[in-house]
């Protein structure tokens, strides 16, 4: 089978690999679509603990072509989305229900072969059955949507709160929709790219702001009077994290959702956190949120179609890497069957 392989930090090849060997608890998927994520770029540059060589790709959907004898509920021909995060079930954190903080966490597409390949071996318990009415391309976004659902839970938006979303890449555009569903009064989106601002407005943002050519603070204060009740940082930069803290109202919540490079540092004033009684929260992956993400997509409550900017073949992976994170790209899907 054809696959993308990261061979060492900064290097990849598109090559032939044997189709993986099935175990009794496994499913073999013919991968339909696998999304390129910021995390893939961090992995490519060796910024995550990864054992090279590895087939990357952790946001994927496919059709089951083989099912192990021990797999229940899912059979050949079923459409599934993959939860790439595999937990041990017995460590301190797993036994407290905080499975995403598992000390032995491994992930398909990170330290095990993932979805940038024609076929992928997936433990049966990591697969979520999809209704056949849900396009498999949309289902490739179940994983990032599940991460955002966890983030929205962490953000504790109250009905009627004003929410500021910083950054309107694929994640910011999902967060905009989830903030609406969570009952925000006004969803304000800050984004320098005009195309992305237009998309944010289409997908439910009440106010869009260009932070380069407009006075972001002034506009946020005009819309909220006191600052945003909840600020969701979806860029993953130290500077936008600082901006997020600055734009929350007194008593506000700041969700740092975008993934920065591990070494980046932001400056915060502890006095500010005290005097403005701020809550600064993180959100890591997607514990117990995949089923909700599948439901949101299946019911059309979250629209991911406009987020898909490119559909590329495995052979064009280099092009995908070059495009990822640029204003010209939103979600890039790799289509191994094409
Ligand atoms: Zn991802
Ligand atoms: Zn564990």
User: Ligand 1: distance of its center to the CA of 162 in Å?
Assistant: 27
Of the ligands numbered here, which is closest to the C-alpha atom of 98? 2
> 187 φ, ψ to 5°?
-105, 120
User: Ligand 2: distance of its center to the CA of 287 in Å?
Assistant: 12
User: Ligand 1: distance of its center to the CA of 272 in Å?
Assistant: 32
Q: Alpha-carbon distance 234 to 212, whole Å? A: 17
Of the ligands numbered here, which is closest to the C-alpha atom of 92? 2
Q: Alpha-carbon distance 276 to 163, whole Å? A: 17
pLDDT digits (tens, 9 = 90+) for 101-135: 999 999 999 999 999 999 999 999 999 999 999 99
- Please check whether the domain covering 2-141+304-334 is classified as CATH 3.40.50.720: no
The percent of residues above 90 in pLDDT, for the chain, comes to 95
User: Ligand 2: distance of its center to the CA of 7 in Å?
Assistant: 28
**Residue 51: band (very low, low, confident or very high) from pLDDT cuts 50, 70, 90:** confident
Ramachandran bin of 3, using left for φ above 0, alpha for ψ from -120 to 50, beta for the remaining angles: beta
User: Ligand 1: distance of its center to the CA of 84 in Å?
Assistant: 10
Of the ligands numbered here, which is closest to the C-alpha atom of 324? 1
Q: Alpha-carbon distance 293 to 3, whole Å? A: 27
Tokens of 95: 């036994």
**Residue 46: band (very low, low, confident or very high) from pLDDT cuts 50, 70, 90:** confident
Query: What's the pLDDT score for residue 49?
Result: 75
pLDDT over 90 at 48, yes or no: no
- Every domain of the chain with CATH number 3.90.180.10 lies at 2-141+304-334
- Every domain of the chain with CATH number 3.40.50.720 lies at 148-282
State the average pLDDT over residues 137-165. 98
Query: What's the pLDDT score for residue 327?
Result: 85
pLDDT over 80 at 213, yes or no: yes
pLDDT over 90 at 203, yes or no: yes
Cα separations in angstroms, 132 against 137, 183, 266: 12, 30, 45
Query: What's the pLDDT score for residue 66?
Result: 98
Pairing state between β 331-334 and 26-36: antiparallel
pLDDT over 90 at 262, yes or no: no
Burial 62-73 (b: 16+ CB within 10 A, else e): bbbeebbeebee
Q: Which residues contact 89 (CB under 8 A, 6 or more apart)?
A: 99
**Residue 86: band (very low, low, confident or very high) from pLDDT cuts 50, 70, 90:** very high
CATH number attached to the domain at 148-282: 3.40.50.720
User: Ligand 2: distance of its center to the CA of 97 in Å?
Assistant: 9
Query: What's the pLDDT score for residue 137?
Result: 98
Whole-prediction pTM value? Answer: 0.96
pLDDT over 80 at 81, yes or no: yes
User: Ligand 1: distance of its center to the CA of 58 in Å?
Assistant: 6
Please list all protein residues whose beta carbon sits less than 5 angstroms from ligand 2, which is an ion: 87-88, 91, 94, 102
**Residue 326: band (very low, low, confident or very high) from pLDDT cuts 50, 70, 90:** confident
Nearest to 253 by CA among 283, 274, 232: 232
Do residues 46 and 10 touch, judged by C-beta distance below 8 A?
A: yes
User: Ligand 2: distance of its center to the CA of 327 in Å?
Assistant: 38
């Amino acid at each position: 089978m054809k696959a993308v392989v990261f061979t060492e930090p900064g290097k990849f090849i598109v090559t032939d690999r044997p189709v993986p060997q099935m175990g009794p608890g496994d499913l073999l998927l013919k991968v339909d679509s696998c999304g390129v994520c910021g995390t893939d770029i961090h992995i490519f540059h060796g910024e995550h603990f990864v054992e090279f060589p590895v087939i990357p790709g952790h946001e994927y959907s496919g059709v089951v072509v083989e099912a192990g004898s021990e797999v229940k509920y899912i059979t050949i021909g079923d459409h599934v989305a993959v939860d790439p995060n595999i937990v041990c079930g017995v460590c301190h954190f797993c036994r407290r229900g905080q499975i995403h903080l598992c000390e032995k966490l491994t992930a398909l597409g990170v330290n095990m072969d993932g979805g940038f390949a024609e076929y992928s071996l997936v433990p049966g318990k990591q697969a979520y059955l999809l209704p056949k009415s849900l396009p498999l391309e949309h289902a490739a976004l179940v994983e990032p949507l599940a991460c955002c659902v966890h983030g929205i839970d962490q953000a504790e938006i109250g009905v009627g709160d004003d929410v500021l979303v910083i950054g309107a890449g694929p994640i910011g555009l999902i967060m905009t929709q989830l903030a609406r569903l969570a009952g925000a009064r006004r969803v304000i989106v800050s984004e320098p790219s005009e195309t992305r601002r237009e998309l944010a407005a289409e997908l439910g943002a009440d106010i869009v702001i260009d932070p380069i050519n407009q006075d972001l603070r002034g506009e946020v204060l005009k819309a909220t009077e006191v600052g945003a009740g909840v600020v969701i940082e979806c860029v993953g930069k130290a500077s936008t994290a600082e901006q997020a803290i600055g734009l929350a109202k007194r008593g506000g919540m700041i969700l740092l959702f975008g993934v920065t490079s591990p070494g980046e540092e932001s400056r915060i004033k502890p006095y500010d956190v005290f005097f403005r009684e701020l809550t600064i929260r993180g959100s890591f992956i997607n514990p117990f949120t995949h089923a909700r993400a599948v439901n949101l997509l299946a019911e059309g409550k979250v629209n991911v179609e406009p987020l898909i900017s490119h559909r590329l073949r495995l052979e064009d992976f280099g092009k995908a890497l070059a495009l990822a994170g640029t204003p010209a790209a939103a979600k890039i899907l790799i289509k191994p069957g094409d």
